[in-house]
Amino acid sequence: MNKNAKIYVAGHRGMVGSAIVRNLEKKGFENILFRNSKQLDLRNQQSVQNFFYAEKPEYVFLAAAKVGGILANNSYRGEFLYDNLMIEANVIEAARLTKVGKLMFLGSSCIYPKLAPQPLLEESLLTGPLEPTNEPYAIAKITGIKLCDAYRHQYGCDFISVMPTNLYGPNDNYDLKTSHVLPALIRKFHEAKKRGDNEVVIWGTGSPRREFLHADDLADACVYLMKEFSDYGFVNIGTGKDISILELAHLIKDVVGFEGSITHDRSKPDGTPQKLMDVSKLHAHGWRHQIGLSQGVQAVYNDLSAQEWF
């Protein structure tokens, strides 16, 4: 990518989009296009096409999506399917019409079958039923991958897809009702420390294993693959390493400096025993993560501690 190339980052306010913007700016890319949802409704086909014809971006990072936790995904199934289908279809079609040089579509690890073998290989896509609670979101993301592949086949578009693992980092969601496990634990331990509590309760046994990637590492992988990858299918982006929820809780406890104990609410579910990505394809393309989990959590906590609301 030429440093003067016009680059559109869809979803630049989110954790992923903002990380991609930081990475591009750090590498000297200055011609970056932004539009928030009030300025441009990506669900509106005409608005999206007008924007693309007016701005003519050369590269597109499609990180915009309607996202939420299990409760939101399961409660607003129609909304999650419709909004995400519209966003990706409108952006991908406008990119084709205006001859965008290259587009990257970002998906989610929830695209994999609920019972897919671990670690998750790219080839496992569509080999079994999805997790029912987030099926509409997963179907929308699978459609985005297939749309990029179909446009590559029919029109010769250089449209690619990547699938990130569980992410954390700046601009994450720390609402205890809707956040994912890592930011939720940071918030729990921090508030327990402030109150002087003797314990922090975690859900289940703590035995499920999860993989975590810092958003800045994901962004670096995305910018790297935008240059280096051009093919059908998609590339998993992760660390290839996982950690139990209990180990994660102890790591966060140490970072926060909480001196109480960790106890378990065994009435709460454990969830899937393991979710780990196979990153052989990513490594074969020459990219590996740089930010270790302890280092990343410490950086996130330092940043949060400096913010007034936290």
Residue 107 annotated as lining a ligand binding site: yes
Residue 108 annotated as lining a ligand binding site: yes
DSSP-derived letter for residue 41 is -
Kind of pairing between the strands at 209-210 and 243-244: antiparallel
Residue 15 annotated as lining a ligand binding site: yes
Residue 121 annotated as lining a ligand binding site: no
Residue 188 annotated as lining a ligand binding site: yes
Residue 98 annotated as lining a ligand binding site: no
DSSP 170-218: TT----TTT--HHHHHHHHHHHHHHHT-SEEEEES-S--EE-EEEHHHH
Residue 264 annotated as lining a ligand binding site: no
Residue 289 annotated as lining a ligand binding site: no
Q: Are the CB atoms for 170 and 214 separated by under 8 Å? A: no
Query: Helices 15-26 and 215-228, interaxial angle, to 10°?
Result: 60
Residue 12 annotated as lining a ligand binding site: yes
Question: How many CA atoms lie less than 13 Å away from 183 in the CB half-sphere?
Answer: 24
CA dist., res. 289 & res. 293, Å (int): 10
Instruction: At 195, list the tokens.
Output: 């109150």
DSSP-derived letter for residue 58 is S
Residue 137 falls in the annotated catalytic set: yes
Residue 260 annotated as lining a ligand binding site: no
CA dist., res. 96 & res. 92, Å (int): 6
Catalytic residue among 137, 151, 168, 301: 137
CA dist., res. 161 & res. 145, Å (int): 6
Amino acid identity, position 274? Q
Residue 226 annotated as lining a ligand binding site: no
Residue 194 annotated as lining a ligand binding site: no
Q: Are the CB atoms for 294 and 255 separated by under 8 Å? A: yes
Closest CA to 60 of 27, 86, 98, 22: 98
Residue 17 annotated as lining a ligand binding site: yes
Residue 162 annotated as lining a ligand binding site: no
What is the Rg, in whole angstroms, of the alpha carbon atoms belonging to the chain?
Answer: 20
Residue 13 annotated as lining a ligand binding site: yes
275-303 burial, b at 16+ Cβ within 10 Å, e below that, comes to: bbbbbebbeeeebebebebeebbbbbbee
* Residue set of the binding site: 11-17, 106-109, 141, 164-167, 180, 188, 203, 210, 270
Looking at the annotation, which residues are catalytic? Answer: 137
Binding residue positions for substrate: 188, 203, 210, 270
- Which residues are part of a known binding site for NADP(+)? 11-17, 106-109, 141, 164-167, 180
